[in-house]
């Protein structure tokens, strides 16, 4: 079954478990989804926000048990598609690499620099070679809806000039449309030299999960968007202490209500699938392996997400 045939199109949300503790969710239920790539990080929590079916997935598992490099990203994305996801929005904590992007601000990411290594970040391999286009790694249409939802949730729109402007104390939280996310392996935070290097690249934020999710969502032909919540200044800013887990948790706790508000504003706006973005044909010409050389095991493993091309 392909997501296009799964009935009402579903909005998948990847983030912390607190995101699905929303007022107004109906028919809330939990399902464990088995995939050819193993089990996802946690059971999926399914429900409805108004007329929109939604599925929430705790990226790091219940109780935050999984390191960024221990997350079974392939199973997570596959599981969301299995339950009918058409759109996937990733919500994650990041460090800010810009003076004007302060803890508590949101960035709707549009580019990635991937510095991870050793992760399973592709459904291809083990007998099937494929390459998808990744020049524009997020869905522009879905990202625009996410940005609009952030504004509707109370975030002030920010322009490019605001990224490097020293902020006034107590200013309203802002949302930035577009930004480059450096994805590092972790689990350690950056060295000061690394943080300065990432700033010199022109990057805006740094995290440990986003690029991997974006790559797999593209191969699975899902519309994907990412919301990065700045929790700290990494360790480059001389006027701020280096990031600690305590800092991250404090800002996340203070801003979880903002993330929930964004999800509630977003859900009613993604009820109509679109095809102009091209996300749902992303793997149409990706497979290079000769059809006769693809084993039945590989066909079975990839049947749900790429079966129409095998």
pLDDT tens track for 245-287: 777 677 777 778 889 999 999 999 997 777 678 999 999 999 9
> What pLDDT, on a 0 to 100 scale, did the predictor assign at position 7?
47
Quote the pLDDT of residue 169: 77
Give the chain's mean pLDDT: 91
What CATH homologous superfamily does 3-309 map to? Nucleoside phosphorylase domain (3.40.50.1580)
Q: Does residue 253 or residue 291 have the better pLDDT?
A: 291
**pLDDT at 239 (0 to 100):** 72
Q: Which two tokens stand for residue 85?
A: 């996801």
Residue 2 pLDDT exceeds 50: no
Instruction: Give the residue extent of every domain in the chain.
Output: 3-309
Helix (H, G, I), strand (E, B) or coil at 254: helix
Evaluate the omega torsion of the peptide bond into residue 277 and state whether it is cis, within 30 degrees of 0.
Answer: no
294 confidence band (pLDDT: 50, 70, 90): very high
Mean pLDDT of the 60-82 span: 96
Which pLDDT score is estimated for 17? 63
Instruction: Verify whether residue 232 is a known catalytic residue.
Output: yes
Rounded distance between C-alpha atoms, residue 22 and residue 7, angstroms: 24
- Here the contacts of 163-169 (C-beta below 8 Å, separation 24 or greater) are 163/98, 163/99, 163/100, 163/101, 163/204, 164/98, 164/99, 164/100, 165/99, 165/100, 166/99, 166/100, 167/99, 167/100, 167/102
> Between these two residues, 200 and 18, which has the higher pLDDT value?
200
Report percent pLDDT > 90 for the chain: 78
Confidence at residue 4, expressed as pLDDT on a 0 to 100 scale: 41
CA–CA gap between residue 213 and residue 255 (Å, rounded): 23
Given the residues 4, 204, 232, 247, the one annotated as active site: 232
Given the residues 110, 114, 204, 234, the one annotated as active site:
234
pLDDT at res. 171: 85
CB 30 within 8 A of CB 45: yes
Please, what's the b/e burial string for 179-195 (b: 16 or more CB within 10 A of its CB; e: otherwise)?
Answer: bbbbbbeeeebbeeebb
Residue 27 bears catalytic tag: no
Of the candidate ranges 84-98, 225-239, 267-281, the one whose mean pLDDT is the lowest: 267-281
């Amino acid at each position: 079954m392909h997501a296009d045939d799964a009935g009402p199109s579903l909005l998948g949300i990847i983030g912390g478990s607190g995101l699905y503790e929303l007022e107004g969710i109906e028919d809330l239920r939990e399902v464990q989804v088995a995939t050819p790539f193993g089990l996802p990080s946690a059971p999926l929590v399914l429900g409805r926000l108004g007329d929109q079916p939604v599925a929430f997935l705790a990226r790091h598992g219940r109780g935050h048990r999984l390191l960024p490099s221990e997350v079974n990203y392939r199973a997570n994305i596959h599981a969301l598609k299995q339950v009918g996801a058409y759109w996937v929005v990733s919500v994650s904590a990041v460090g800010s690499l810009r003076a004007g992007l302060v803890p508590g601000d949101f960035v709707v990411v549009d580019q990635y620099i991937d510095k991870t290594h050793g992760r399973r970040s592709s459904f291809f391999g083990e007998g099937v070679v494929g390459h998808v286009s990744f020049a524009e790694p997020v869905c522009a249409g879905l990202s625009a809806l996410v940005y609009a939802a952030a504004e509707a949730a109370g975030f002030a729109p920010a322009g490019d000039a605001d990224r490097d402007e020293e902020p006034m104390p107590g200013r309203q939280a802002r949302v930035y449309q577009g930004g480059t996310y450096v994805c590092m392996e972790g689990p350690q935070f950056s060295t000061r030299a690394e943080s300065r290097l990432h700033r010199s690249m022109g990057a805006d934020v740094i995290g440990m999960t986003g690029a991997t999710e974006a790559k797999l969502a593209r191969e699975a032909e899902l519309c994907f968007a990412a919301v990065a919540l700045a929790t700290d200044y990494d360790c480059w800013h001389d006027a701020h202490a280096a990031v600690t887990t305590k800092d991250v948790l404090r800002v996340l706790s203070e801003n979880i209500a903002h993330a929930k508000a964004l999800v509630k504003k977003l859900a009613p706006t993604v009820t109509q699938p679109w095809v102009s973005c091209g996300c749902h044909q992303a793997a149409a010409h990706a497979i290079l392996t000769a059809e006769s050389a693809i084993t039945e095991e590989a066909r079975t493993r990839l049947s749900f997400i790429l079966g129409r091309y095998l």
